Amino acid sequence: MEQVGVDLGERSYRIKIGTGLLSSLDQHLAEAGIKTGTKLLVITDERVKELYGADIEANLQQSNFEFRLTAVPEGETSKSLDRAKELYDEAVDFGLERSSAVVAFGGGVVGDLAGFIAATYMRGIPLVQVPTTLLAQVDSSVGGKVAVNHEAGKNLIGAFYQPEGVIIDLEVLTTLEERDVKSGLAEVIKYGVIWDNNFFNYLQVNSKAIRDLDFEVLTKVIQRSCQIKAEIVGEDEKEKGLRAILNYGHTIGHAVEALAGYGKYRHGEAVAVGMVSAVKLAHKLEMVTETEVQKQQKLISSLGLPTTFDNFKIDNIIAKTRQDKKVQDGQVRYILPNQIGEVEIVSGIAKDLITEVLEDQQEG
Ligand SMILES: NC(=O)c1ccc[n+]([C@@H]2O[C@H](COP(=O)([O-])OP(=O)(O)OC[C@H]3O[C@@H](n4cnc5c(N)ncnc54)[C@H](O)[C@@H]3O)[C@@H](O)[C@H]2O)c1
Ligand SMILES: O=C(O)C(=O)C[C@@H](O)[C@H](O)[C@H](O)COP(=O)(O)O
Ligand SMILES: [Zn+2]
């Protein structure tokens, strides 16, 4: 088993990465500081419950934890205040107390939603993340961003709320749809571009093994992704500065997700398209060469991700980006690479340039 630490003073925690961790979930919960006997609300989605609900129940039943397993419908539309209300009702009905805990057992949707419940119920109760998609294992379970969506934009209602621990079992990835594996890889590519050129090269060389879910390679990929995220979050937990670089590809990506209607695009697909927009914008601003644009586009395509998007009105995409959380003094701020492994935050980009780039990516 590998471990990565997230160093945040009294909110520090460990990320455990390995195989077979679910069959000893009780032990890992205890090691994350959740005392045996604690009441647990385990929040999942219907698909994950169908696949792994019995395993979780079997483990927790033979432990001293008192638990209730509750499932929301799968998909992005569950990241809503309506679903949150149902979960608060469930928490009250189960008699969840301040000393109880929430276990987020699922993909990024479950992690963000269950995290939001943990952050707000009784002003905050302990949370443990048990991510079951590649995207959640490399990104959403780490760093404490929890949220639900608003029709105006992604994750508009949320909090920074760190978990007590993150428990990553690679074995659950074998049941993921290929589309979801690819979606997670978009966030992995992001880490290479924003932070680590060597990691980017490693992804290029190992793209086949990654898509084939080779566990040895995947362990390295998950571990390095978590390390990079932990390092950035450790320096800037609440996105006062540096952390914004984790939003690479998200300015256009989030706009596309919201405009298409939540759930049409997987988050990673939209981020992949947004990363292509970002590197093309960087090229127009003479920050990167054409070769670097090609290199990035090639990796995105070779990992099975899209580089173009549906036929939206470009003005609508640009208007949507104005609701981005990175907007400062009315200016949309883009994260743009100046080489692979390093990015800058750039604001005040001319609308014409953005339009040209987006027209180029428009399908049909
Ligand atoms: N908080 C953060 O820092 C952060 C970071 C990145 C993404 N996100 C959010 O994460 C969400 C996307 O997460 P996601 O891609 O995991 O989507 P998701 O949670 O919707 O999961 C994708 C699909 O996979 C299914 N699934 C989950 N685990 C499975 C398994 N082991 N086997 C088979 N099927 C499984 C789910 O039921 C769902 O249908 C978005 O809402 C995004 O905004 C948050
Ligand atoms: O953890 C972060 O910080 C990120 O930006 C990670 C992103 O991959 C993630 O999609 C996040 O939810 C986006 O944050 P938001 O603040 O733009 O909603
Ligand atoms: Zn993301």
CB-CB contact of 194 with 229 (8 Å): no
Give the mean pLDDT of 144-157: 93
Give the mutation target among 180, 187, 275 for probing the ligand 1 site: most ligand atoms within 8 A of CB: 180
The alpha carbon of 246 and the centre of ligand 2 are apart by a number of angstroms equal to 6
> Residue 291: is it exposed, middle or buried by C-beta count within 10 angstroms (0-12/13-18/19+)?
exposed
**Which residues surround ligand 1 with Cβ inside 6 Å?**
45, 47-48, 51, 74-76, 79, 106-110, 112, 132-133, 135-136, 139-140, 143, 145, 154, 172, 175-176, 180, 183, 187, 266-267
> Is this prediction's ipTM beyond 0.90?
yes
The alpha carbon of 107 and the centre of ligand 1 are apart by a number of angstroms equal to 3
Is 133 within any annotated ligand binding site?
A: yes
pLDDT tens-digit readout, 64-96: 899 999 999 999 999 999 999 999 999 999 999
Is 110 within any annotated ligand binding site?
A: yes
Q: What angle do CA 137, 139, 144 make, to 5 degrees?
A: 110
3-state secondary structure of 280: helix
Give the span between the Cα atoms of 315 and 231, in whole angstroms: 36
Give the span between the Cα atoms of 55 and 162, in whole angstroms: 26
Q: What angle do CA 46, 50, 51 make, to 5 degrees?
A: 120
pLDDT at 262 over 90: no
Is 145 assigned a catalytic role?
yes
Average pLDDT value over all residues in the chain: 96
What are the structural domains of the chain? Answer: 2-175 (3.40.50.1970), 183-212+235-361 (1.20.1090.10)
